[in-house]
Structure 1
């Protein structure tokens, strides 16, 4: 049995093996299964290569071995190229021999019905029992341009002379690693490695990237994601990458996916799958881009802008007003502020004899194509305190005379303040020069703005949530509203006072601990949405009205929920606030615990006016969430309106999010809806709550 792999051992087996075996390799180099041997020989991989083909004595002019057991040594990494039906048995042989890692090319597993699911489970069980590490299935392989490891069947790697870079690519899509390497070569962008993870039956993107964090030649990561599966490993890697100072840039599919299927609360439906993913990335310091080209272009910018600095203001200098306008427009769409030069900066430009017309952009016009003009302008702008990032937009001179406007950008690249460039024409020579100098540079205004916005949107990771106990059952149970208030009391979320009365109590009821008017609600764990059964009656003015209401509620239950257990009515004082919100907590199956603040009432699901973070959050972060909900802006005292107690709201959002640090409570979903916001200084109060426990 293999010993469990450490991070360094795993990284070595995947990216730096001393020996590889190709099981099922074809003699025909035009076939998918024939490519890896051809690529490995062409790239000059120095390790031992063992072709395995029981039907041939030679493959592509080399000796072929009948089986893994016949080899003179146990290969460190095995690439399984044989058909789906043989994969499980080959994996078992690898486990018996003590192979450290295998990559499985074949598909036909979880995506292929019950039989495929059984195969996949067999692989998962084998890895758990033996310590064998498996990449795939449906993996197109692993590439390390630094040592010639072209262990891939991707046709794009027929490309010779791949440039070496400083970033590792990990992708759910096998074809995407080929697309990125070809696009990168055209831009002069190289990679430290590329990994196609496939189905992630065993090894996940997060674990693979985590294993490589100590590699000094890897300075950042590009992720192409189809989902957030294995979210815990991905989250652990992102936090470790942040500590190591290695930027992570991600492109995730699914921005247009339908909202996440709601459980019973509104929180899941309002949040939406992609909105949760977006919060996941931002809260872990991952720059999420939405344009594929930006995935290649963002790393130099993310490396120049430490997460701690969180700059927000951009200064733009240009030689072409139209080109700069496109960049400003795209930045504005993404809520990135383009700051005009201050009066002091304009005065310095004037003293230097440079164009200094007031405006959002410093347009040097044709004068900016002169080296001296652009260099002097950049020196002044990079020293100006009103800018956190300077963007130079260069026109036609970038293509025909790059030494004029591009040379000064390269010379200013090492300034303490980050400098980026966007070239309006197709200027491959200038782009190559900027890339080689480490200057963040962009071909289009869309990718430029996308990259800047993604880097700016990153947030400092908060404390990690604590996992639910290992014995947590799969089934969840609903708490009654009264029981839910008990949980709220434990975590410090204020709620309206409540009293319980039983339907079968024929005696004189005890006096309420609060005055009339009141609201009466059916109280049962089996009725999470009381209004659907007519289970809420409002504005009851006295005991007589309350007694009549209980009779009415019983009748409603008999008519609309026959057979549903409900013995009690919960009574609360009628209350009204300046506004109301929904505060929801849920343990997302991929992203983990999240906290959401949303507009209350009918706007909760119609407008989806909300803010989402990974839980737990501090009060300071909760204050940021409050500012992001548009419906709450009138409660800031806007236009003389009464101010709501938004500070109490922030404290309550933070308090509910602390469920992520209290796994013993076994809460998987909690929703306070509505939470009333009272006048400033008077707090907030929950008047309904729904909680699910595992």
Structure 2
């Protein structure tokens, strides 16, 4: 048996379980695991362990793990926090390979808690025990009736079994998922509360189920990206097996990473990085809890779109124009186009007796409440080449005549083009029938649009893991001239320059020019008064250099202010910021934004995991509103966006560079010249890993 298979069995399908700290009081959390296992019909052996009890819930109780008649596969530790590390060490001595820790008071509890978690992790590693948690409410394997959790929601009997495996960083959420899923007809193969992920993380746990044919999809509730490399490896393997992943993630924070020096670090927020990481790894990220549950059924029907395909188009058919308009609005807010049927499609509808006006919404009015009308409309629309998805919006008939209202949708579920439903009224019976019929159905227009947009935001995961240097390594900031040498090596054009010291003669300079402080001590020159532009002659340059040195010395005491970099003024039609950095959790990223001061003012940017290809760079440019004017907006001179795309690709290849190990690199601004004339870097900032 492989080590992964053995771990998967011990963690998710143990044959022998010890519950350490099991309580005899049915009102206590620590009594629940034993109660749930017995109620679920668990076929294995359970050993309650409690030194203060001879029986627990009417069953014999053992005083310690060492006193058990056989070695358990899995120890669920529901004992107090201060006893956990010792219990894990005992597991190691006895050869128990997996322990789940319910107790909190670890990394989430401040510095002392983090120290406590480090001690626990050391104990686990030294004793060879794999750890789930701490702060884990346990795991549930519905398919094999292993309800090993302290979550109160699992007191509910006869929970539905499905093909989705759910993993949550928030312990209580597994209960919310299973109860809400039941109401929506969504069953789970299994659920796991990963807690603090001190050892086992979501990626490694989910990977243990990849080859189980009963698991068809994955649902993740995330509070942040932890163990990013493992999560990405799992996502690549899931994509290879056509097992889709949907995720809801908290933490749409606008705060920057503490170590960031470049604007790229400040602009690429937690939300940007999460979006880039999840999308790049083929994981659909939704923004609402309803879409998380209801979107599970959508993903298999909306496969990842390949590069070069036209933008997806949605057809909407309805019996209620207002309800359909809500869906159209929500899709538009997420950049998804709702289109009218083509003339030939309208003609085919008429041939089937369905006469409608050519419109973005195919409104059947009250006639659509008749089975024959709605079925005919769905038959035509779901075979029309202009649609990648059809949304059927049903009005009040869904509540008062559910059988009649949704039967044509259910009978069309196997159509060539996927069909989803939005039910406008509160109509649980209709929604239940749609779920049983395998039709993704939504209670709100927001969740409907959210799930669709998330499905189409995914990209094919990379075939290999991205290379990443340690983002927290010792760092050295290069001055601008040293940074330019890196650009020269990459082949990115940059403005020439002349370095002047205090005693250097000013000659051979073609005006107008720009003068800048040249010092690694001053990464953000403008903030320190270290830049002057529009310098017309030698006298003006002499005065500008004096002002720059004085101003920088005042703003950055102790900085080297001896050298000034003088560059010619470069004409362009626009400017961009292109940045690269190694994030400590998701690895190398590349970003493009509007250049200059607008970069931070508007926070208008696009982020991807690095490296990217040319198509990916073009997509990034199209996502930045501030760069739209460079495409010849209203007759303006078009900029060389292809050259900008090539520069993005080139800078992103730093992810594969061995020497130096670049932690951050930014060109701001990168001047975009007229179409066909290229781009020119006129400022650069690079941070590398310092040599030990």
- Higher alpha-carbon deviation: 79-88 or 114-123: 114-123
2:552 and 2:425 mapped to 1: Cα distance?
A: 71
User: Deviation per CA, 1:36-92, whole angstroms, max 9, x where unpaired?
Assistant: 000000001111111111111111111111111111221111100000000000001
Is the 2:18–2:75 contact (alpha carbons within 8 Å) kept by the matching residues of 1? yes
Aligned residues: 686
Q: TM-score, normalised by structure 2?
A: 0.95
1:497-538, Cα deviation, whole Å (9 max, x unpaired): 123233355xx57x65x7333222221111112223332233
Q: 1:40 and 1:233 mapped to 2: Cα distance?
A: 30
Contact 2:383 2:416 in 1 (8 A): no
**Consecutive aligned runs of 4 or more in structure 1 exceeding 6 Å deviation:** none
Pairs within 5 Å for 1:575-586 = 575-586=570-581
- How far has the Cα of 1:646 moved from its partner? 0.7
The aligned counterpart of 1:489 is 488
* 1:99-498 alignment, distance < 5 Å: 99-255=96-252, 257-258=254-255, 260-261=257-258, 263-308=260-305, 312-462=312-462, 466-468=466-468, 474-498=473-497
**Compared with structure 1, are the counterparts of its residues 620 and 38 closer, same or farther at alpha carbon in structure 2 (3 Å cutoff)?**
same
3-state DSSP of counterpart to 1:671: strand
Report if aligned partners of 2:282, 2:458 keep a CA contact under 8 Å in 1: yes
Any idea what the Cα deviations from partners look like across 1:257-306, whole Å, max 9, x if unmatched? Answer: 54555722211222222122122222222111111111111011101111
Find the aligned partners of 1:557 and 1:299 in 2 and give their Cα distance.
56
- Say if 1:355 and 1:363, in contact at 8 Å, map to a contact too: no
Q: How many Å separate the matches in 1 of 2:428 and 2:422?
A: 12
Q: 1:123 to 1:480 in 2, by over 3 A?
A: same
CA distance in 1, matches of 2:295, 2:244: 10
- For 1:589, the equivalent position in structure 2 comes to 584
- Counterpart CA distance in 2 for 1:321 and 1:424 is 11
Unaligned runs of 5+ in 2: none
For the 8 Å contact 2:468–2:582, the answer to whether it is kept is no
Deviation readout 1:598-642 (Å, 9 max, x if unpaired): 111232112112111111111111111111112222221222211
Q: Distance in 2 between matches of 1:217 and 1:266?
A: 46
Aligned to 2:72: 75
2:253–2:270 contact (8 Å) kept in structure 1: no
Deviation at 1:668, TM superposition (A): 1.1
Contact 1:465/1:661, CA 8 A, preserved across alignment: no
Q: Secondary structure at the match of 1:493?
A: coil
TM-score, length of structure 1 as denominator length: 0.95
For 1:570 and 1:293, the matched residues in 2 are separated by 56
Question: In structure 1, what is the Cα distance between the partners aligned to 2:339 and 2:97?
Answer: 54
Counterparts of 2:612 and 2:414 in 1: how far apart (Å)? 36
Alpha-carbon separation, structure 2, partners of 1:474 and 1:346: 62
- For the Cα contact (< 8 Å) 1:462–1:616, is it kept in 2? no
Which one is further off, 123-132 or 651-660?
A: 123-132
Counterparts of 2:83 and 2:480, CA distance in 1:
55
Structure 1: gaps spanning 5 or more residues: none
SS state of the match for residue 652, structure 1? helix
Range 32-41 or range 325-334, more displaced: 325-334
Deviations 1:86-130 (A, max 9, x none): 000000111111212110000011223343222211122233334
Q: CA deviation at 1:441?
A: 1.1
Secondary structure, in 3 states, of the residue corresponding to 1:288? strand
- Say which SS state the counterpart of residue 385 (structure 1) adopts: coil
Verify the 8 A CA contact 2:169 2:193 in the aligned structure 1: yes
- 2:646 is aligned with 1:655: no
Kept after mapping to 2: 8 A contact 1:7/1:210: no
Residue number in structure 1 paired with 2:532: 537
Question: How far does residue 166 in structure 1 lie from its aligned partner after superposition?
Answer: 0.5
Q: Would you say the 8 A contact 1:52–1:66 is kept in 2?
A: yes
SS at match of 2:607: strand
CA–CA distance in 2 between the matches of 1:90 and 1:195? 22
* Cα separation, 2, equivalents of 1:671 and 1:247: 35
Q: Is the deviation greater in 403-412 or in 339-348? A: 403-412
Is 1:90 the equivalent of 2:87? yes
2:558 counterpart of 1:563 = yes
Cα deviation, 1:221-266, whole Å, max 9, x if unaligned, reads 1111111122222222222222221111111112355455572221
The answer (yes or no) to whether the contact 1:503–1:554 under 8 Å persists in 2 is no
1:671 correspondence with 2:670: no
Q: 1:155 to 1:91 in 2, by over 3 A?
A: same
Match of residue 60, structure 1, among 57, 62, 67: 57
Distance 1:669 1:168, change over 3 A: same
CA separation of 1:533 and 1:434: change in aligned 2, threshold 3 A: closer
Residue deviations 1:1-55 (CA, integer Å, cap 9, x gap): xx9x833222222211111110000011210000100000000111111111111
Q: Distance in 2 between matches of 1:113 and 1:550?
A: 49
Q: In structure 2, how many angstroms separate the alpha carbons of the residues matched to 1:570 and 1:39?
A: 72
Cα distance in 1 between the residues matched to 2:521 and 2:368: 72
SS at match of 1:570: strand
Classify 1:195/1:546 alpha carbon distance in 2 versus 1 (closer, same or farther; 3 Å): same
* Distance in 2 (alpha carbons) for counterparts of 1:532 and 1:632: 24
Call closer, same or farther: CA 1:468–1:430 in 2, change over 3 Å. closer
The 2-side partners of 1:555 and 1:259 are apart by: 31
Alpha carbons of 1:445 and 1:466: their partners in 2 closer, same or farther (altered >3 Å)?
Answer: closer
Contact in 2 for aligned 1:180/1:296 (Cα 8 Å): yes
1:638 alignment counterpart: 633
Give the counterpart of 1:606 among 590, 598, 601. 601
Q: Distance in 1 between matches of 2:659 and 2:668?
A: 24
Secondary structure of the corresponding residue to residue 383 of structure 1: coil
> Against the structure 1 CA distance between its residues 526 and 25, is the aligned structure 2 distance closer, same or farther, given a 3 Å change threshold?
same
Secondary structure of 1:276's aligned partner: helix
- Answer with 488-497 or 455-464: which moved more: 455-464
Preserved contact between residue 247 and residue 292 of structure 2 (Cα < 8 Å): yes
SS in structure 2 of the partner of residue 519 of structure 1? strand
Q: Give the secondary-structure state (helix, strand or coil) at the position aligned to 2:665.
A: strand
The CA distance in 1 between the partners of 2:472 and 2:145, in whole Å, is: 48
